[in-house]
Structure 1
Amino acid sequence: MIFHTFSKWLTATFLATSILVLTGCAASYPDVEADFEADYSTPKYPAQVYLIPAANEAVARRIQLVQQAKTFIDMTYFSWNKDTSGLMLFAEIKAAADRGVNVRITLDDLLVFNEKWMAELAHHQNIDIRIFNPFNSRSMGWIGRAMDFQIHQAQLDNRLHEKYFNADGHTMILGGRNIGDDYFGYSTDANFFDFDVMFKGEVITAFESNFNVLWGSKHLVPIEMLVEVKQAGEYSVFDATYEEQVGEQPDVFNAISNKVSSLSAINYTPALVMPVFDSLAKMQDSKPYFRRRVENIMREPINNAKKALISTPYLIPTDGKFAVLETLTAHNAEVTVITNSSASNDSGFIPAYFEKHRPVLLDMGINLYEYKAGAIHDDHFYHADTYFHNKTFVFDDLYSYIGSSNFDPRSDFINIEFGVLIKSPEFAKTLESYLLSHKDDLYWHVTKQADGSIQWQSGDEVYDASPGYSRWHKLPDWFIRTLNIEYEL
């Protein structure tokens, strides 16, 4: 853990230095009028919802839906790893395309380099893969990307952060997970604690329309225009990559296959749901379309809440303010917040700022829980380092949010996001239980003592400093804060 934390610091320091040298200064918050998006409205749809309760089930459900698909599959993800689960899902997608299913995939370009294995599949007559806001550099790794970013920051800063899976228009999966072993509990290095929700009902048509707007936009480029392959219609690189990965991880391959074959019928919960979408206009004006739309729709529940549970991996204020939290606590709501501890955060930048914001949150009366860096989850095949990645909220045991946004500055002003508001006491109870039923095992309860000191407690364990986050972080944290890059986080 010490080496892993130190390596995260080294990476963060290197990247921070690169940003400082390459960009010269931090971006500033845009001016946003008080009534921005005040007239936004969204339809309400009756729907059936199901919170996928385990990481291994999340990938198994996707594979099952691909296997059962008859007409089309549409997907959008921020990242898609070239590992066992990522390649297994792509192999099933190819098999579906072979039997006539039309597949459309949109991916953000931040983690797509010279992926010939993926580009080969895009030459299949029934598979179309398009890349969002592509970089010019493909084969020079992060050095090339940094140089590209220096020249084209205004264009390349915006990233596609949506996570969307739609099979035949009858079943949809939304949530925080991307595609990769680390999102499904199969990574030997580190895994995310996250969740997905399956939907049935007419609300899917709203997400189909949103997907089609993005699909037809100028911001997407076919991957075959970016990555060259030797012979269109041949899949030698993909086949070799897949066979090599399965050969290296036969236990993971077998575990995923067995989970798919043992899936049981789903018991859906009826709910009223309201989809909320971002605007591609954000690419030009950097305004918080998605966040303001959610806040305006939820204005009454926020102002009148008696109880609120808020979960985000990256707890960063907007322009120095936790506006929604301030509103809730000013109205005497009981507010519980769950986030990463400094030691568990997968970002090397966030802890540098969060260490300074934690006392502010406690002074507001927030009931704060921080995720343990070594938290153990029974649904993870490998017990490695773990990161908290759940993005949701629950108000008054009735309203819930599911989606891609972390409600941090990057989600608000830079990335393209979406989500759905769910009105259902039964689902809210299920979601709260998912997050808190094992809180003594998963989280540190953080409190401020009478003498002003901060305490982290879990059972009999008590710390007077952030667990796993030593004094050696003070200097790099100070350096990162001098960059003033909260807007980018």
Structure 2
Amino acid sequence: MTMPRFFSPLLSLVTIIFVLTGCASPSPTVPEEFEANYQTSQFEAKAYLIPTAPEAFARRVELVRKAQSTIDMTYFSWNGDTLGLMLVDELKQAADRGVKIRLTLDDLLVFNEKWLADLDAHSNVQVRIFNPFNSRKMGWVGRAADFQMHQDQLDNRLHEKYFNVDNQQLILGGRNIGDEYFGYSKDANFYDMDVLFQGAVIAPFADNYEVIWQSDVVTPIAELISIKQPQEYINLNKAYAKAKKQQPEIIADIEQTIALMPTVEFIDVTVTPVFDSLQKLQNSLPYFRQRAEIAINKEIKTAKKAVISTPYVVPTNGEFVVLDKLTRNGAKVQLITNSSASNDSLFIPAYYEKHRQTLLDMGIELYEYKDEAKNDDHFYHAATYYHNKTIILDDKLSYIGSSNFDPRSDFLNVEFGLFVHSEAFAAKVEDYLFSQKESLYWHVSRNKDGDIEWQSGDEVQDSNPNYGGWHKPIDWIFTKMDGESEL
């Protein structure tokens, strides 16, 4: 699980040490027959891979403006920055027209956001918070103390990303809501991917949303954050007015993107959705991971080519089970992930140093995202982090969803996703990943002497790019925490 990137390095370090030291525990033993009776279902759908980060946000705004009856959303985080506040304001305007709006939001990054409580005060809007913390006004120090005392309760987080308008249009992918997820942050931006779906597949996702919405693991935000003068939207209006004044160029670019958006060209696909179980909060068993592997078991066994994209390469109990299965069966495996310098987590690089060698020894073709990558669709070019999660098997099956397929996604977070059966769609995903290969990634391999080297075009480096020696003592501290099962 990653921590927010924009609080001070010292507080970041103190918080992480306080939270992780003495807290990590091995992943639970999975019963041999776990989920043995799980049955998959297939649905027809139309899919459109949204080709740029600005369009991914613009599509959301456009869908909200055209909404007729309902908007249901789930997100792990929703920032109170320019894009976050703009979308909230658009939702409020839709609610003014009579659209019924529901937002389910994980509580890890929700403190005392009164602008969110303002939105909830609208008669047509409901905001519910997943697995809320007890501490709300003491910042990260309070959160860390709360976590130490109630880890069993608070360790499970809602990691789904879901945007359903009128049960007719559904956006799934890896992006949360905030400037940095769409290329509009001056500090740092994520590289990610979203897909717009139509068709029968929306129904099972709507059913999954209802299960969480009606469960006792979500709490109305009004019970957690109090506001004065409800339904006057003082906090929301003030915050958004300030954002517009400070960043008018962002608002203008978004409006221009909406005006110039191309016509959506859908691909007809067959999809297999996979959902987690809220039982995970009681037993920490890997429902989503097991169900996903069952859904594509045949394809994994016979795959000759695999492209796997994940921001965080973390083994489960020290083993890369699926990667090992693929390579043992002779599949050519390409793995895309963060470089040590580009990782938004402070502690994953400490463990990844040894995993890089393991992956190369397995014969995996490894690509690492550059910390200074220049995505041509980003409005601001700043530090960059890789946040994309997908799988392509044999150029015909692709994964779209929230799971990073790491221990935290497997055993702690609530996740979902779907597998898309389509050669045409798989080609779109592969092009999305590799069309800017030279400018985005280091190709990591061993040279003739067996030493690791990083290559991009004509540039070759024999040491970890932009990851200097000063990281070593910090990495040593993190590895001694033995907290990899929490990542």
Partner of 2:162: 164
Residue among 459, 470, 473 paired with 1:472: 470
Query: Which residues in structure 2 correspond to 1:19-168 (within 5 Å)?
Result: 19-20=19-20, 24-168=22-166
C-alpha separation in 1, matches of 2:100 and 2:19: 41
Partner of 2:456: 458
Partner of 1:284: 282
C-alpha separation in 1, matches of 2:377 and 2:51: 9
C-alpha separation in 1, matches of 2:229 and 2:7: 40
C-alpha separation in 2, matches of 1:260 and 1:199: 19
C-alpha separation in 2, matches of 1:395 and 1:281: 30
SS at match of 1:471: coil
C-alpha separation in 2, matches of 1:17 and 1:94: 40
Structure 2: runs of 5 or more not aligned: none
From the superposition, tell whether residues 458 and 286 of structure 1 become closer, same or farther in structure 2 (CA, over 3 Å).
same
C-alpha separation in 2, matches of 1:190 and 1:14: 22
C-alpha separation in 2, matches of 1:7 and 1:107: 21
From the superposition, tell whether residues 11 and 458 of structure 1 become closer, same or farther in structure 2 (CA, over 3 Å).
farther
Partner of 2:366: 368
Partner of 1:205: 203
Partner of 2:14: 14
Aligned letter for 2:316? T
C-alpha separation in 1, matches of 2:324 and 2:460: 28
TM-score computed with the length of structure 1 as normaliser: 0.97
SS at match of 1:59: helix
1:377 shift after superposition:
1.0
Render the CA deviation track for 1:78-117: whole Å, top value 9, x for unaligned.
Answer: 0001111111111110000001000000000000000111
1:13 shift after superposition:
3.3
Residue among 341, 344, 356 paired with 1:358: 356
From the superposition, tell whether residues 344 and 430 of structure 1 become closer, same or farther in structure 2 (CA, over 3 Å).
same
Q: Which moved more, 1:450-459 or 1:198-207?
A: 450-459
Q: State, as a whole percentage, how many aligned pairs show the same letter.
A: 57
SS at match of 1:378: coil
1:19 shift after superposition:
2.3
SS at match of 1:40: coil
2:52 and 2:377 in contact (8 A); partners too: yes
2:454 and 2:463 in contact (8 A); partners too: yes
From the superposition, tell whether residues 351 and 266 of structure 1 become closer, same or farther in structure 2 (CA, over 3 Å).
same
Render the CA deviation track for 1:17-69: whole Å, top value 9, x for unaligned.
Answer: 21255xx3422210102332122122111110000000000010000000000
C-alpha separation in 2, matches of 1:380 and 1:434: 14
Render the CA deviation track for 1:139-198: whole Å, top value 9, x for unaligned.
Answer: 110011111111111000100000000000110000000000000110000000001000
C-alpha separation in 2, matches of 1:97 and 1:309: 42
Aligned letter for 1:394? I
C-alpha separation in 1, matches of 2:205 and 2:20: 38
C-alpha separation in 2, matches of 1:425 and 1:12: 43
1:45 and 1:203 in contact (8 A); partners too: yes
C-alpha separation in 1, matches of 2:397 and 2:457: 31
C-alpha separation in 2, matches of 1:13 and 1:109: 21
Render the CA deviation track for 1:251-297: whole Å, top value 9, x for unaligned.
Answer: 00111111112222200001000110000000000000000101111
Aligned letter for 1:31? T
C-alpha separation in 1, matches of 2:227 and 2:331: 57
1:11 and 1:348 in contact (8 A); partners too: no
C-alpha separation in 2, matches of 1:465 and 1:340: 16
Off by >6 Å, runs of 4+ in structure 1: 5-9
Aligned letter for 2:324? E
C-alpha separation in 2, matches of 1:482 and 1:94: 48
1:231 shift after superposition:
1.4
Residue among 309, 312, 320 paired with 1:311: 309
CA RMSD of aligned residues (A): 1.4
Residue among 424, 437, 455 paired with 2:435: 437
Structure 1: runs of 5 or more not aligned: none
C-alpha separation in 2, matches of 1:264 and 1:385: 29
Aligned letter for 1:100? G
Partner of 2:230: 232
From the superposition, tell whether residues 448 and 15 of structure 1 become closer, same or farther in structure 2 (CA, over 3 Å).
farther
1:233 shift after superposition:
1.6
1:192 and 1:387 in contact (8 A); partners too: yes
C-alpha separation in 2, matches of 1:367 and 1:251: 40
2:20 and 2:483 in contact (8 A); partners too: no
SS at match of 1:295: helix
Number of aligned positions between the proteins: 483
C-alpha separation in 2, matches of 1:323 and 1:159: 24
Aligned letter for 2:15? L
Q: Which moved more, 1:214-223 or 1:464-473?
A: 464-473
Residue among 245, 266, 272 paired with 1:268: 266
1:399 and 1:422 in contact (8 A); partners too: yes
Aligned letter for 1:438? Q
1:8 shift after superposition:
8.3
C-alpha separation in 2, matches of 1:198 and 1:301: 24
Asked if residue 349 in structure 1 is aligned to residue 331 in structure 2, the reply is no
2:19 and 2:147 in contact (8 A); partners too: no
C-alpha separation in 2, matches of 1:140 and 1:7: 14
SS at match of 2:150: helix
Asked if residue 331 in structure 1 is aligned to residue 332 in structure 2, the reply is no
C-alpha separation in 2, matches of 1:477 and 1:82: 32
Aligned letter for 2:465? P
Query: Which residues in structure 2 correspond to 1:350-429 (within 5 Å)?
Result: 350-429=348-427
C-alpha separation in 1, matches of 2:106 and 2:463: 38
C-alpha separation in 1, matches of 2:128 and 2:176: 16
1:450 shift after superposition:
3.3
Partner of 1:243: 241
Render the CA deviation track for 1:326-357: whole Å, top value 9, x for unaligned.
Answer: 00000110000000000000000110000011
C-alpha separation in 1, matches of 2:333 and 2:396: 15
TM-score computed with the length of structure 2 as normaliser: 0.97
C-alpha separation in 1, matches of 2:8 and 2:486: 18
C-alpha separation in 1, matches of 2:448 and 2:16: 37
